[in-house]
Amino acid sequence: MQLFLAKAGNKWLNGADAAAVELKDDGILRGFGDQMDAALLLKNSKHFGANFQQGEGEVHVLVVVPAGAVSQAGVAVLPSIEEFGEIVEARVNKVLDDRDKRSIYSL
């Protein structure tokens, strides 16, 4: 997933402008500056800054979702909470099993 500030020049996009944004054929979003660093806080000066004031009707972030994560309807396909729980449980169990196999105390 890629995040971009939704600004055209120094002006925030509105809903219609954001809906009209299209990716280039290569799947890249151009004209919106560098990709945001998802690890930084929004109040970081690289993003919005500590004094950011939100305006009515403004769009602030454009999200580019990888093609494989979108269904035919254009809705992001994410696991349900139950599926997510199963994924986490399976990964934790694998880590514990691997640990037990390496342990000198395992049977």
Quote the pLDDT of residue 5: 85
Quote the pLDDT of residue 74: 58
Question: Would residue 34 count as lying in a domain?
Answer: yes
Domain count, the chain: 2
Q: Which residue is listed with tokens 């280039």?
A: 24
Same domain, 25 and 54: yes
Residue 3, phi-psi category: left (phi > 0), alpha (psi -120 to 50), beta (remainder): beta
Q: Is the pLDDT of residue 18 over 80?
A: yes
Quote the pLDDT of residue 69: 63
Same domain, 17 and 56: yes
How high is the mean pLDDT of the chain? Answer: 80
Range of the domain at 38: 2-67
Residue 36, C-beta contacts closer than 8 angstroms, at least 6 positions apart: 3, 4, 5, 46, 47, 61
Quote the pLDDT of residue 68: 66
Same domain, 46 and 83: no
Q: What is the pTM of this model?
A: 0.56
